[in-house]
Structure 1
Amino acid sequence: MNLRQTARITIAGSAILLIAGCSTNEPSRPTASSSAPMTTSAAPQPSDVATQQATAAYLGMWSDMADAATTSDWQSPKLVRNATAEALQTISRSLYADHYNGLVTKGRPLNHPRVQAVEPPADPKTITIADCGDSTNWLKYRADNGQPADDGPGGRRQIEALVKKAVDGSWKVTTFAVHEVGSCSG
């Protein structure tokens, strides 16, 4: 028996079970949907949903920070969307220092996050993310004349972050650490 014959038998058997389960006193007529294969999709696992939402928050934090860094706006309302606690303080302080020193940042970071841990797996509350972020095209410049600031070249850096589920169900980065240029190769 080939695969096509097996599929026909499976479809026919499913249709018979469907018709028998919905029997009435009237003879049933096949419909277009009774000849189509039935597909079932398993509900997504809590860890899969949490992983997607935490990763989106992590990437959102970097995007929000890059947007605010174009003017060194340490008070940007965007910053609280995906970051909180120590992560938000770190971002705000860094942007304030750039503002104070007359610096802005041009370009965007490139991120490649990988989930390292999901805790607890059955009902996730904390996601650990590792990243090999690339700041090659995300550099600081003097706001007054547009000249590059003397803070060294960008490059690939190891980043670790904790993303936690908030009381309202949203996911936010609570802390992150960025290592020196050259600290990752992947």
Structure 2
Amino acid sequence: MRTRQSRRWEICLLSLALTVGAAGCGSGPEATTGPLTGRAAAPVAHSDAEENAAAKAALAAYSGYLDASRTASARSDPGHPALPRFLADPLLTRVRLAIRDAKEHGAMRTGKLVSDPTVVSVDLAADPPTVEIQDCLDARDYRLVTVKDRKTVPGTRGGRYLATATAARYPDGRWLVNTGAAHQDQPC
């Protein structure tokens, strides 16, 4: 009984604090027309060196992602330990599901995937900081084949096409690729 009453008091105090805090926020003309001063006045500027370091780390994560996914795909191993070193969700789950799906259908990836990535943007003020990457993937020699006879799976195609990815810096300081898309309808 004592726990229930103390819980009610906590809820009442929290509600009161939120109500008072919201009432203290201005919504009149003085709150919107005055100039911003102090730290909230302008976004934090990051040096070129910081942005270059972020771009380099993100490209390393992207390269590691491609290598890890090629290795995992060639081994039909969705649990390959290198995948989480370079990938984060939701892309990590998508890659693992694609590898598992190929494995369940008796297929695997083989051949060479050629990558030529460039950094499109760096946003160190974002939460979390992000780097956008654009790549021209050459998958003409990277094929989905049947494990049994190594014949190319019908309906799969290679070619050169645009790919995009986003790498984010996680709280532990690692840059991981968390989103990515292959735009096979956009040749490069």
TM-score (norm 2): 0.70
Q: RMSD of the TM alignment (CA)?
A: 2.0
Q: Does the 8 Å CA contact 1:46/1:122 hold for their aligned counterparts?
A: no
Deviation at 1:87, TM superposition (A): 1.0
Q: Does the 8 Å CA contact 1:47/1:121 hold for their aligned counterparts?
A: no
- Larger mean CA deviation between 120-129 and 100-109 belongs to 120-129
- Quote the residue 1:75 is aligned against: 79
Check 1:173–1:122 CA distance in 2 against 1; reply closer, same or farther (3 A cut).
closer
Say if 2:43 is the partner of 1:53: no
- Larger mean CA deviation between 87-96 and 147-156 belongs to 147-156
Q: Which amino acid aligns with 1:184?
A: P
- Quote the residue 1:16 is aligned against: none
Deviation at 1:79, TM superposition (A): 0.7
Deviation at 1:45, TM superposition (A): 0.7
Deviation at 1:118, TM superposition (A): 0.5
CA deviations on 1:13-38 (whole Å, 9 max, x unpaired) are: xxxxxxxxxxxxxxxxxxxxxxxxxx
Check 1:93–1:122 CA distance in 2 against 1; reply closer, same or farther (3 A cut).
closer
Q: Does the 8 Å CA contact 2:111/2:143 hold for their aligned counterparts?
A: yes
Deviation at 1:150, TM superposition (A): 1.1
Check 1:124–1:117 CA distance in 2 against 1; reply closer, same or farther (3 A cut).
farther
Gaps of 5+ in 2: 1-46
Question: Quick one: distance in 1 between partners of 2:155 and 2:145?
Answer: 9
Q: Does the 8 Å CA contact 2:130/2:169 hold for their aligned counterparts?
A: yes
Say if 2:141 is the partner of 1:105: no
Question: Quick one: distance in 2 between partners of 1:113 and 1:178?
Answer: 13
Q: Does the 8 Å CA contact 1:47/1:122 hold for their aligned counterparts?
A: no
Question: Quick one: distance in 2 between partners of 1:123 and 1:152?
Answer: 37
Q: Does the 8 Å CA contact 2:114/2:139 hold for their aligned counterparts?
A: yes
Deviation at 1:124, TM superposition (A): 8.3
Count how many residue pairs are aligned between Structure 1 and Structure 2.
142
Q: Does the 8 Å CA contact 1:87/1:175 hold for their aligned counterparts?
A: yes
- 1:27-66 matches, cutoff 5 A: 45-66=49-70
Q: Does the 8 Å CA contact 1:130/1:160 hold for their aligned counterparts?
A: yes
Runs of 4+ aligned residues of structure 1 deviating over 3 Å after TM superposition are 121-124
Q: Does the 8 Å CA contact 2:128/2:170 hold for their aligned counterparts?
A: no
Q: Which amino acid aligns with 1:87?
A: L
Check 1:79–1:125 CA distance in 2 against 1; reply closer, same or farther (3 A cut).
same
SS at match of 1:96: helix
Q: Which amino acid aligns with 1:89?
A: T
- Quote the residue 1:13 is aligned against: none
Match of 1:118 among 109, 118, 122: 122
- Quote the residue 1:151 is aligned against: 155
SS at match of 2:179: strand
- 1:126-145 matches, cutoff 5 A: 126-145=130-149
Deviation at 1:63, TM superposition (A): 0.6
Deviation at 1:109, TM superposition (A): 1.2
- Quote the residue 2:88 is aligned against: 84
Question: Quick one: distance in 1 between partners of 2:135 and 2:172?
Answer: 26
